[in-house]
Amino acid sequence: MGSFDYIFLAVMVLVIFFRVWQTFFMKDRLSGVQKEGWTFTAAIIVYNSIIISAIVEYLFFRKEVNYKMSMLGLLIGSVGLFLTSSAMKSLGKFWSLSIKIKDGHQIVRSGIYRYIRHPYYLGVLFEVTGFILFANSYYVFALVFILFLILVLRMFLEERVMISVFGEEYQQYRREIKAVLPKIILK
């Protein structure tokens, strides 16, 4: 094994550790009503399939590593981790892996949610795309399309829940803030 192999494995172990910690050890702080729980299960299965497939492709279908593509992938994946972490921090006690309306729930307009309504989903797509490029595992991109479809459906379902709970207040937020592409305000 070369030195890049060790770097690759270390990065992938860190990503897996972060996701396991986030999924199983970050408990919801508030009770509430969960909606569309199957979307989390579907997304986590496809996400983990992508990561595992990228590792398998890297380790067992050996090809020459394109270091420029790996560094670009590491950058894109890191941006994805930043987006997901920023979303979690901004939502604070209202953050949940499932679509959940919690007791005392409010529309969060601070932090990254000032610029984008669904930074977590965008971050997940950046993560998997980045880490596939980092691993030079191009066959796995077919699974990203499946994850993309699940996340788009999940955004639609989440929006529907938010409108049913918050009505015009959420509709106004939707008019002001873009779903996945930040609204750039130049002053």
Residue type, position 136, single letter: N
Q: Report the C-alpha gap between 140 and 142 in whole angstroms.
A: 5
Poorest-confidence range of 8-12, 31-35, 134-138?
Answer: 31-35
Distance CA 64, CA 140 (A): 17
* Range in 55-64, 77-86, 129-138, 166-175 with the lowest mean pLDDT: 55-64
Give the side-chain half-sphere CA count within 13 A for 134: 27
Contact 96, 25 (CB under 8 A): no
Distance CA 160, CA 143 (A): 26
Sign of CA dihedral 41, 22, 135, 53: negative
Predicted local distance difference test score (pLDDT) of residue 101: 83
Residue 15 has pLDDT above 60, yes or no: yes
pLDDT at residue 27, as a whole number = 58
Average model confidence (pLDDT) for the chain?
A: 85
Q: How confident is the model at residue 186 (pLDDT cuts 50, 70, 90)?
A: very low
- Residue 49 reports pLDDT greater than 60: yes
- Give the mean pLDDT of 101-121: 90
CA angle 20/45/129 to nearest 5° reads 80
**The token pair that represents 73 in the structure block:** 């992938």
Q: Tokens 């890297």 — which residue?
A: 58
Beta bridge partners of 35: 99
Res 118 pLDDT > 90: yes
Residue 183, pLDDT above cutoff 80: no
Tokens 């860190």 locate to 14
Quote the pTM value: 0.84
